[in-house]
Amino acid sequence: MTKGLFLNFSIEGAAFEESAPPTGRLVSGSPRFRNWEIDAQAGGLFAGVWEGTPGKWRVNYSEWEYFRLLSGVSIVTPDGAPPRRLVAGDSMIIRPGFEGTWEVVETTRKEYVIRI
């Protein structure tokens, strides 16, 4: 195997960035986010681990995202559709154009791959 073409999907020892929902999107609570970016490629491909604390905010996806919950409980609700409760082990693809809310019920951690 060629060195550099194989990457462990691990946050052990990795630095993270902290953030919160964008201004004007907060619905309830005071959620805080931590993001460990594991890989970023030219052309808009990103992979990492995201963690959010309880709260609810509006989301509007312009990107494609695959994720798998590692821990916690979240509820994702598309505008005009029933909510989807997500727990550890659940995985989902969200496509560009998705609008709705994301609610973290119990601190949630997910692995993700995003394509812009």
Question: Would you give the DSSP letter of residue 21?
Answer: P
Mean pLDDT of 74-95: 98
Output the pLDDT for position 3: 55
Please work out, in degrees rounded to the nearest 5, the angle formed at the alpha carbon of residue 17 by the alpha carbons of 15 and 23: 175
Q: Assign 3-state DSSP to the chain and report helix, strand, coil percentages, each to 5.
A: 0, 60, 40
Q: What is the pTM (predicted TM-score) of this model?
A: 0.94
Q: In this model, does residue 80 exceed pLDDT 90?
A: yes
Residue 1 — very low, low, confident or very high, per pLDDT cuts 50/70/90? very low
CATH 2.60.120.10 fits 26-115, yes or no: yes
Q: Residue-wise over 79-107: b if at least 16 C-beta within 10 A, else e?
A: eeeeeeebeeeeeeebeeebebbbbbeeb
Output the pLDDT for position 83: 98
**Highest mean pLDDT, choosing among 1-5, 12-16, 25-29:** 25-29
